[in-house]
Structures are given as C-alpha cells and as structure tokens.
C-alpha cells in the first residue's frame, strides 16, 4: 500500500526559470512523510514517528520540471526496508492527466532513524511502529551509501554556512531540508568565485542529489565551514561534492550531479571549457 498526499504549491517555490527549485522538492517530501506518519502510525506512536525521527540519508532524482499550478501536486510514499533502528522510504512526485497518464517529476529515497531528542540518541523501532510501517512495505534494493571520498580544497571552494534562526526545528537542530539549501549556496559560490559562467544559451539543471547526515548542525553565531569541489565532468554533466564541517568533524556531505542544458532546445549540451577548468583546480 502507498500513501497519497496532495501538496499545495507556493509561488515562492519557483526559481528564476519558473520551475520548482530543487531544494523545495525536499520540503514536499517532508510534508508527505509527516502526513503518512500521522495517518498510518499507531495512535500511541503517531507523534513519535511524525516528530521523533531524523534523516540519515536522502537520494533524490529529478526527472522532469514542475511548474506552478493552483492544483496540488500528488506525492506517493511508501516503505521499502525496515530494520531494527531505521527504515527506508520511497517517494514519487507526479501529475496525472484526465486519461490517467502519469508524468513523474521526482523519485527519491530516504533513510530515517527514530531519535530521542532529550538524550540526543537514536533508538530502536517499537513493535507497534514496525507493524504500522509494514503495512506500507514494498521491498526494494536497500540504500547503502558509497565510501566517503577525501575532501578536496580548491580555490573558491570554501563557503561559510551561517545558520539562521528560522533554519532550526523546535529541538535546535537544522532541518534536513536546509542542508540542500546550504549545499546549493556553496555550489553557486564556487562557480561565481572562480568566474565560471555557463554563458548565453546554457543553464545547469540538478539531476541527482545525495546527502548523508552525520551529526546535527546546531544554531550558533559562529559559521560552519562548507567545502565544495568538482570531482568529475562528463560530456554533459558535472559532479559537485561538498562537506559541512565543524572544525575537523564532518557533519554532512553531499554529491550533486548537474546537467548542462541548451536553453533553446531544452536538451543536454556539452559542458563548456570554462566549467571544465573547475575539475583541474
């Protein structure tokens, strides 16, 4: 069984191209996830799952652009794996026409773990929670993060992450959605600092974002250090990697695949030489 949530869009969700920004999709996933917990979790545990879990990893694949509509966008979510102290969810954001034909905008998977915020420690799933989650179970390949790569320091790759008061939840942790925003800002900072513009007729579209959450980012006056570098460039794609650190401790890391798009045709285009220079440092 899959849970269906209809998420309203906001005009502020759009980017300069009139598409829903890649960061905003993760907010939609969060809304759908909380709605699923409140709908299907056992009454005694509804708040535990809705408010007492933390994200361990996001894998987000952007399939097609979503533009503004007064009609809510449909999100299906379900469970793909249940372990002793974690579980994995899958999502599909889509629109359907009158004939029932589905246009998929995004697919994603999220690994979550129950968390006791009073002690700042994860916990095991209760039997009632496992039973409730099992009703939404469609087994799939497990999410297993690849080994972490070494941090690479490059000119323009250092970006100070200033946590805003509105970034944190009631427990003082930065919300998982905000990490996507931090990595986006750091990525743009790298390209701007190095003077690597795509030029007329091209724009960079995010095709895939994977984020691993290691330790909570907390609200404080001192900024956190974010390092970003280009790890690989293909014929039409660029792979950015980033870490957020508190001194030497890595709090989160991300890998983002961007695709160069011809603005006129909407088709993938060759990565320009100006951008290729980024991987050479």
Digit-coded pLDDT (tens) for 37-95: 989 876 656 567 767 899 999 999 999 999 999 999 999 999 999 999 999 999 999 99
Stretch 183-199: mean pLDDT, rounded?
A: 84
Phi, psi (degrees; rounded to nearest 5) at 28: -60, -45
Where residue 202 falls among pLDDT bands split at 50, 70, 90?
A: confident
SS3 276: helix
**Cα gap 37→114, rounded to integer Å:** 12
Nearest to 28 by CA among 244, 177, 184, 211: 177
**Cα gap 4→26, rounded to integer Å:** 16
Lowest mean pLDDT among 45-49, 98-102, 236-240, 264-268: 45-49
Indicate if the pLDDT at residue 194 is higher than 60.
yes
Token reading at 61: 């694949």
**Cα gap 232→230, rounded to integer Å:** 6
**pLDDT tens digit string along 119-155?**
999 999 999 899 999 999 999 999 999 999 899 999 9
- Most confident stretch, 148-152, 197-201, 242-246, 275-279: 242-246
H/E run at residue 177: helix 176-193
CA dihedral 45, 51, 57, 60 (to 10 degrees): 100
Indicate if the pLDDT at residue 280 is higher than 60.
no
- In the chain the domains, ranked by start, together with CATH numbers, are 1-144 (3.10.129.10), 151-281 (3.10.129.10)
**pLDDT tens digit string along 250-269?**
999 999 999 999 888 889 99
DSSP letters for 76-97: EEEEEEE-SS-EEEEEEEEEE-
Indicate if the pLDDT at residue 273 is higher than 90.
no
Asked if 215 and 249 count as a contact pair (C-beta separation under 8 A), the reply is yes
Angle at 211 between CA 15 and CA 26, to 5 degrees: 40
* 146: region left, alpha or beta (phi > 0 left; psi from -120 to 50 alpha): beta
Asked if 134 and 127 count as a contact pair (C-beta separation under 8 A), the reply is no
Indicate if the pLDDT at residue 180 is higher than 90.
yes
H/E run at residue 160: strand 158-161
Indicate if the pLDDT at residue 200 is higher than 80.
no
Lowest mean pLDDT among 103-112, 176-185, 268-277: 268-277
SS3 113: strand
**Cα gap 211→218, rounded to integer Å:** 17
Stretch 201-207: mean pLDDT, rounded?
A: 88
């Amino acid at each position: 069984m899959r849970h269906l949530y209809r998420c309203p869009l906001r005009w502020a969700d759009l980017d300069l191209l009139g598409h829903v920004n890649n960061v905003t999709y993760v907010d939609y996933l969060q809304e759908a996830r909380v709605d699923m917990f409140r709908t299907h979790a056992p009454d005694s545990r509804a708040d535990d799952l809705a408010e007492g879990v933390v994200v361990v990893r996001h894998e987000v694949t952007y399939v097609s652009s979503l533009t503004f509509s007064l009609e809510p966008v449909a999100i299906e979510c379900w469970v793909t794996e249940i372990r002793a102290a974690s579980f994995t969810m899958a999502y599909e954001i889509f629109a359907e026409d009158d004939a029932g034909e589905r246009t998929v905008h995004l697919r994603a998977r999220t690994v979550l773990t129950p968390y006791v915020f009073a002690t700042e420690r994860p916990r095991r799933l209760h039997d009632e929670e496992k039973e409730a989650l099992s009703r939404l179970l469609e087994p799939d390949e497990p999410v297993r993060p690849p080994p972490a790569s070494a941090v690479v320091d490059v000119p323009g790759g250092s970006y100070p992450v200033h946590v805003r008061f509105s970034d944190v939840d009631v427990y003082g942790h930065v919300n998982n959605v905000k990490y996507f925003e931090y990595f986006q800002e750091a990525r743009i900072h790298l390209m701007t600092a190095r003077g690597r513009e795509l030029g007329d007729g091209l724009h960079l579209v995010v095709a895939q974002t994977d984020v691993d959450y290691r330790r909570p980012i907390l609200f404080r006056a001192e900024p956190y250090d974010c390092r970003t570098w280009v790890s690989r460039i293909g014929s039409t794609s660029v792979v950015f990697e980033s870490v957020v650190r508190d001194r030497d401790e890595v709090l989160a890391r991300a890998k983002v695949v961007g695709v160069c798009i011809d603005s006129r045709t909407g088709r993938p285009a060759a990565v320009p030489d100006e951008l290729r220079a980024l991987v050479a440092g």
